[in-house]
Amino acid sequence: MTHTLHRFGQREDLVDDFIVTAMPAKGLNDGNAVPKQKEFLRRALKHNPVNVGNSIKGAQHRSSRNLNPAAHWRRDTTPDPQAVIDEVDRPTTVSAVFDNFDAVKAFLAELIELDLGLSVNISSVPDKAVDCCDECGIVRHSVEYSLGFFGMTEKLPDDTTMRLSTMCGHGMISTGLARKMTDWVRAGRRTPDEACKYMARFCVCGSFNPARARNILEQAARGK
């Protein structure tokens, strides 16, 4: 999945970051995909994902057209994963994000037994994805790698900003917002948890990992 491949960071920062997606192929197995994708999300919730999403309608953290700028910072930030399930009304790409290996392994084991007949993808550090497949008794079908960033990399934003903004592979979390949230956490104007929820609203597909973002912001606040 190219939109989840380019997460910036070191291995120790990425080793507990797993995105599992399910999607049909247009014209081949999309005729009855909606109930299957709803079931994918329901099974995912059993294993405490840190985010779930529907690439058409949005993720469990979402923005609203009905708030003015002042209300934006005081709104209810409670995630609504059930809304994500309810809004799957046509074939799409659904996703679940996990922050630990055991959870994603247990979820994969359920998917194997369920046999939805959809394309399922795990985006993570490659050897962790392979370990997950091995422990569940299946063989990886294929693999796609990101080769990183090339060219005039000195023009890229700072490392903290890159680590946050690249968690939305569609580019919906701007580097300006990521930098602002980092500055506010450092200044004590927002907690890391609040800043993570603000950023997560803009990642419609749900591939943003709030748990990883919280760790990144906590490190930044400590000057790392």
Residue 165 φ/ψ region, left for φ over 0, alpha for ψ in the -120 to 50 degree band, beta for the rest: alpha
Q: CB count, 10 Å around CB of 191?
A: 15
DSSP 7-71: --S-HHHHTT-EEEEEEPPTTTT-TTHHHHHHHHHHHHHTT--SEEEETTTEESS---TT--HHH
pLDDT in tens, the chain (224 residues): 568 989 999 999 899 999 999 999 999 999 899 999 999 999 999 999 999 999 999 999 987 777 776 666 677 778 999 999 999 999 999 999 999 999 999 999 999 999 999 999 999 999 999 999 999 999 988 899 888 889 999 999 999 999 999 999 889 999 999 999 999 999 999 999 999 999 999 999 999 999 999 999 999 999 87
Domain ranges in the chain are 2-144+155-221
pLDDT of residue 72: 65
Q: What is the pTM of this model?
A: 0.92
Structure tokens at 185: 């956490």
Give the whole-angstrom CA distance, residue 183 versus residue 190.
9
C-beta separation of 127 from 140 below 8 A? no
Per DSSP, the residues of 79-106 read --HHHHHHT--SS--EEEEESSHHHHHH
Provide the 3-class DSSP secondary structure of residue 207: coil
**The pLDDT of residue 54:** 95
Q: Which residues contact 71 (CB under 8 A, 6 or more apart)?
A: none
∠ at Cα 109 (113, 10), nearest 5°?
150
Handedness of CA 50, 54, 56, 58 (dihedral sign): negative
pLDDT at 75: 76
Residue from 167, 21, 18 nearest 102 by CA: 18
Contact partners, residue 99, CB within 8 Å, separation at least 6: 16, 17, 18, 50, 209, 211, 212
- The 3-state DSSP composition of the chain as helix, strand, coil percent (nearest 5) reads 45, 10, 45
Half-sphere exposure of 78 (CA within 13 A, CB side): 4
